[in-house]
Amino acid sequence: MSRPPWLIVPAAGSGRRMDADRPKQYLPLAGRTVMWHTLRRLHSVFPGARLCLCLDEADACFDPSSVPFAHWQRVAGGAERADSVRNALEWIAGQEEDDQALVFVHDVARPCVSPEDLRHLYAALAEDAVGGLLAAPVADTMKRDDGQGRVAATEERAGLWHALTPQGFRLGVLRQALDAARRAELPSTDEASAVEATGLSPRLVFGRRDNLKITHPDDLVLAEQILAAQASCSLSPAGEEAD
């Protein structure tokens, strides 16, 4: 890996759906916090990367010792995910002269992303002029509701993918896409949707289905089971959980 990507981890959300006394990134998971596991999983593959961690300016739970990276920057989080990522991109642009630098954005609530998927994504995007994202083909039958809690239609699942993270794009491409989305007041639930709105086609890179995003309380239990299963299969690098 001749040049590791820049890493952006948005972590300014409140996690209201968790119904907890603190943001979900600080909830306990396998003896640590969700953020601790997420950052160490990224560090296991990209130890030389430069990290931008987007935090709420009033965040009183953050512990700098949870960050394993030698080079990292705390960046002010925004009201929405896209705002946090834009803030991080502006900081990166002040440090990075190359608009073609690769930037990975990863959800802080995805601690189970596999090292193999991270390496695969990096290899797939290393020469891609646009970028792309980890994604998993839809396996379930997809229903569309009618707004009243009943089925309106069954959607054809062929060609549908679940968008995962990291999502990686060229610095210039992503800055322009998010700026354009803001000007047009377009909702951007992920980086790929903003890039798509500019007419570009991000690359889909197959990712494991156990790359869970912790959203609801029972996801914590499932994430702990996934981490344990990955460790038993030697998915994680030796010693990753031993800090």
| Mean pLDDT score across all residues of the chain | 93
Of 7-16, 62-71, 99-108, 210-219, the range with the lowest mean pLDDT is 7-16
Mean pLDDT of 151-177: 96
Give me the pLDDT at residue 242, please.
Answer: 37
Give me the pLDDT at residue 1, please.
Answer: 57
Give me the pLDDT at residue 234, please.
Answer: 66
* Domains of the chain by start residue, with CATH: 6-242 (3.90.550.10)
3-state SS record for 199-239: CCCCEEEECCCCCCCCCCHHHHHHHHHHHHHHHHCCCCCCC
Rounded Cα distance, 108 and 53, in Å: 9
Determine the distance from the C-alpha atom of residue 176 to the mean position of all C-alpha atoms in its chain, rounded to a whole number: 19
Give me the pLDDT at residue 4, please.
Answer: 92
3-state secondary structure of 168: strand
pLDDT exceeds 90 at position 108: yes
* Beta-strand relationship, 72-76 and 50-55: parallel
Q: Which residues of 155-179 are buried (b: 16+ CB within 10 A; e: fewer)?
A: eeeeeeeebbbbbbbbbebbbbbbe
- Backbone φ, ψ for residue 48 (5° rounding): -95, 5
Give me the pLDDT at residue 64, please.
Answer: 97
pLDDT exceeds 50 at position 58: yes
**Residue-wise pLDDT tens digits, 169-181:** 999 999 999 999 9
Q: What confidence category does residue 61 fall into, taking pLDDT thresholds of 50, 70 and 90?
A: very high
Give me the pLDDT at residue 13, please.
Answer: 82
Give me the pLDDT at residue 2, please.
Answer: 75
3-state secondary structure of 161: strand
E-assigned strand segments in the chain = 6-11, 28-29, 32-33, 50-55, 72-76, 102-105, 131-137, 142-145, 151-155, 161-170, 203-206
CA angle 72–78–83, rounded 5-degree value: 90
Give me the pLDDT at residue 35, please.
Answer: 98
Task: Evaluate whether 106 touches 165 at the Cβ level (below 8 Å).
Answer: yes
**Residue-wise pLDDT tens digits, 182-239:** 999 988 889 999 999 999 999 999 999 999 999 999 999 999 999 999 999 865 444 4
Rounded Cα distance, 154 and 145, in Å: 9
